[in-house]
Structure 1
Amino acid sequence: MLQTTVNTLPERDLAVIWHPYTQMQTAPAPIGIVRGEGACLYDEQDNAYIDATSSWWVNIHGHAHPYMAQQLAAQALQLQHCIFAGYTHPPAVNLAERLLQILPDNQARVFYSDNGSTAVEVALKMALQYWDNKGQRKHKLLAFKNAYHGDTFGAMSVSGRSVFTRVFEDLLFEVHFLDVPSPENITQIIADIAAQDPEQVAAFIFEPLLQGSGGMIMYDATAFDQLLQYCRSKDILLIADEVMTGFGRTGKNFAMENIRTQPDMICLSKGLTGGSMALGVTTSTAAIYDAFLSADKLKTLFHGHSFTANPLACTMALASLDLFIKPECGEQRQRIQIRHQHFLDELQQQPSVKNPRLLGTILAFEVTTNNADGYTNNLADHLHRFFKSRRIMLRPLGNTLYILPPYCITDEQLDAVYDSIRQMLAELKEIV
């Protein structure tokens, strides 16, 4: 009997793979991507797809960048991995030194992990054990409503209750959630914290100025700084989750550069390696680090990963930094922001567009529908199919559409993304 041979990449995939954030029973077959170049990814037929969301917000310099590939190849011939407990290596030390040069100047130590969610887990454990090591039992935590900090259990606990956390809510630790600040509500938010007995609050974790998965929610920097100053006055540790906002996304190198109050800890990933390899970083002040120094081994931070400070990943982060600090990268970001601003002006005239907004290289808006805004809005599947058919990689958050491209995207490619959105808005009744 002849056996049918499964040839295409999507067919092979569907036989063996379970994809993230995907209802496998109803989802269409994935597109098989075999190579990348610049702001484009290419399928098996060599069709180009413009990566308008940086492949989940990680790719900042473009795909298959020659310089990064060269650096990776050289390091692979030198050292691919080394246990990081009791040993060290040049890529890890070099990267820590260089990161501390560009981060807020109160940051003093670098702890390595392997993704954004684990970088958050590390920060939460540092914060809680910091107070325990100092002989204080402070277990309360603050976070923003609609926050998203990752999918591991600690990160889920400090994330807003949503479809991401629904099944696990009885297992998550208690967190007090705040509204994002504005000039109108900042007094009420501070009063809300005061009512929670702030002396018992260990830390406040936040996505500075922009909540990504919550719907690209942008909020006021001045009111936010007031909130951070109040928390600082109450000895509440400040954890800046810059996993998404770091490395230029908000216009500055890091979102916290827009704020006077410096954080105690910073979480980094995504753009850290230019979207090339998995790596997470949690940085801390000297005061946090010093609280773990003791002859008592029970005051050790008992956390680690097999691939902590992987030399290949650290090398890719160093290569990405080389590209990031070049003047050309800043010019690319400024060019994208200017182009986005022109398109934003156009979107503001569209009756089916709600709340168009811009922060750095991130442009977002809601498509008006009869359903509630949010991740479960059923317009998302229609929008996703619409843009895939035009070979534009846009992945809506419900009815929230956003553009967050690699910095190397060309003006012609941006025009193609804008044109596809114009077409979508013109054909909206047919899509729905």
Structure 2
Amino acid sequence: MSDISKLQTPSSELNLTERDSKVIWHPYTQMKNALPHIPIVKGEGVYVFDENGKRYIDAVSSWWVNIHGHAHPHIAKKVAEQLNILEHVIFAGFTHEPAVLLAERLLPILPGKQDKVFYTDNGSTAVEVALKMCLQYWDNKGKPKTRILAFKNAYHGDTFGAMSVSGRSIFTDAFNSLLFDVDFIDLPNEDNISHLTSYISQLTDTACFIFEPLILGSGGMLMYEAKYLDELIAASKQAGILIIADEVMTGFGRTGTYFACEKLDNKPDIICLSKGLTGGTMPLGITTCTDEIFTAFLSEDKLKTLYHGHSFTANPIACVASLASLDILLQKETLANIKRIEAKHAAFLLEIKAYPKVKAVRQTGTIIAIEWETGNETSYLSNLRNLLYSYFLEKGIILRPLGNIIYILPPYIISDEDLDYIYEAIKSALVEI
């Protein structure tokens, strides 16, 4: 048994950052020389506040999840009410109103004909389920297919299946020998689309094609056109390949429409969702699929069951948070804010694209990315990253660069004044750094 006498009250002589450094291992962080972690004690709207009272604009929506602002009163009220009704129940053999209602409300607004919801915990696990659905679909049909098609530079998560379908990078280097083989292709464009569709048409043992629609997020906010993705999907469907749209980042308004796949004529068979799903309140993942895929798992043969689940599958509190977030998302004011941010970004793009240090600037919906000119040093590990990160923190702005690429991906409630402040800070950085 543990020694209870070792339990201690945190030292009042240490601040939160110092206490953190003694006990916490942070994500995506080389702890040997990490910058001090800023202690956040409160969130309100588009801002977070540290223990000294300094205010920061959360310009990246806290890793792209916080679409309506921090501590939104409507979401907080619904979550608090649910805590007094049912905090959790096993979801194998049981069900509850929040899970059923969320599926009933979400499925009709998704692109294409999505018929079933499978609940998980986060974006990576939503992708894992999607891959398992596709691979087992073909196995259940008696036509096993094991190959998977994905984009170079893609990022689909940090679990092993999700890493396997992500581009090989510093994120996967230590595990590459353990990842399954994937056929990686370039992002489609005018020059290569004919070659890519011809290549896909010849595939015979490919189970599925997984992609981030229109924007590759962690790969550097790389953007491509819907019309070329449409052609790839059409070729894939013709070749009998199932289609997985990873809308973990792009979903819930980020690309200017509620879902990026709304911009496609050819719709996915499976959609992965997370991040903005709960409005940034707590973790929840969703994998949706068509009835055709679901039906392939219906059998008297129990080996055709999808054997996958999580302890917190369909957590009622997370489902209620998602329902409350949907309430806000579907208000006309939210769509108006999305269009306002989109227009502001477009104008800013035109304003800065000629700056000497701007190697490239690209924008889709509420996301704008600026690639810094750094000569040959353009990797995720660029020294410029820490310079930019610290520069903006000093100005009270949270921008987390992807190497030499900074991006703005704000909550939809952000004001024009705060956007203009961020834009001015970026213009200053382009001159000073």
TM-score (norm: length of structure 1): 0.97
In the other structure, the counterpart of 1:316 is 321
In the other structure, the counterpart of 1:418 is 423
The list of structure 1 runs, each at least 4 consecutive aligned residues, that deviate by more than 6 angstroms after superposition, is: none
In the other structure, the counterpart of 1:152 is 159
Structure 1 residue 380, shift from structure 2 partner: 0.7
Identical amino acids, percent of aligned pairs: 58
Structure 1 residue 398, shift from structure 2 partner: 0.5
Query: Could you tell me how far apart the structure 2 residues matched to 1:4 and 1:137 are?
Result: 59
Query: Could you tell me how far apart the structure 2 residues matched to 1:368 and 1:16 are?
Result: 38
- 3-state secondary structure, aligned to 2:209: strand
In the other structure, the counterpart of 1:19 is 26
Change (3 A) 1:83 1:383: same
In the other structure, the counterpart of 1:327 is 332
Matched, 1:202 2:207: yes
Query: Could you tell me how far apart the structure 2 residues matched to 1:357 and 1:178 are?
Result: 21
- 3-state secondary structure, aligned to 1:356: strand
In the other structure, the counterpart of 1:406 is 411
Matched, 1:95 2:102: yes
1:356 to 334, 358, 361: 361
TM-score (norm: length of structure 2): 0.96
Deviations 1:297-317 (A, max 9, x none): 000000000000000000000
Query: Could you tell me how far apart the structure 1 residues matched to 2:244 and 2:400 are?
Result: 28
8 A Cα contact 1:245 1:255, kept in partner: yes
- 3-state secondary structure, aligned to 1:224: helix
Query: C-alpha root-mean-square deviation of aligned residues, in Å?
Result: 1.1
Query: Could you tell me how far apart the structure 1 residues matched to 2:262 and 2:296 are?
Result: 26
8 A Cα contact 1:374 1:400, kept in partner: no
8 A Cα contact 1:153 1:172, kept in partner: yes
Structure 1 residue 254, shift from structure 2 partner: 0.3
8 A Cα contact 2:64 2:275, kept in partner: yes
In the other structure, the counterpart of 1:214 is 219
Aligned-partner residue type, residue 98 of structure 2: P
Deviations 1:163-214 (A, max 9, x none): 00000000000000000001110111123334xx512000000000100000
- 3-state secondary structure, aligned to 1:147: coil
1:388 to 385, 389, 393: 393
- Any residues of structure 2 matched to 1:130-149 within 5 Å, and which? 130-149=137-156
Structure 1 residue 101, shift from structure 2 partner: 1.4
Structure 1 residue 351, shift from structure 2 partner: 1.1
Structure 1 unaligned blocks of 5 or more: none
8 A Cα contact 1:371 1:377, kept in partner: no
In the other structure, the counterpart of 1:295 is 300
Change (3 A) 1:394 1:76: same
Deviations 1:197-233 (A, max 9, x none): 5120000000001000000000021111111100000
- 3-state secondary structure, aligned to 1:319: helix
Query: Could you tell me how far apart the structure 2 residues matched to 1:235 and 1:36 are?
Result: 48
User: How many pairs are equivalent?
Assistant: 424
Deviations 1:5-29 (A, max 9, x none): 5431111110100000000011111
2:370 to 365, 368, 374: 365
Deviations 1:119-176 (A, max 9, x none): 0000000000000000011000000000000000000000000000000000000000
- Any residues of structure 2 matched to 1:240-259 within 5 Å, and which? 240-259=245-264
Deviations 1:322-353 (A, max 9, x none): 00000000011111111111111111121110
In the other structure, the counterpart of 2:123 is 116
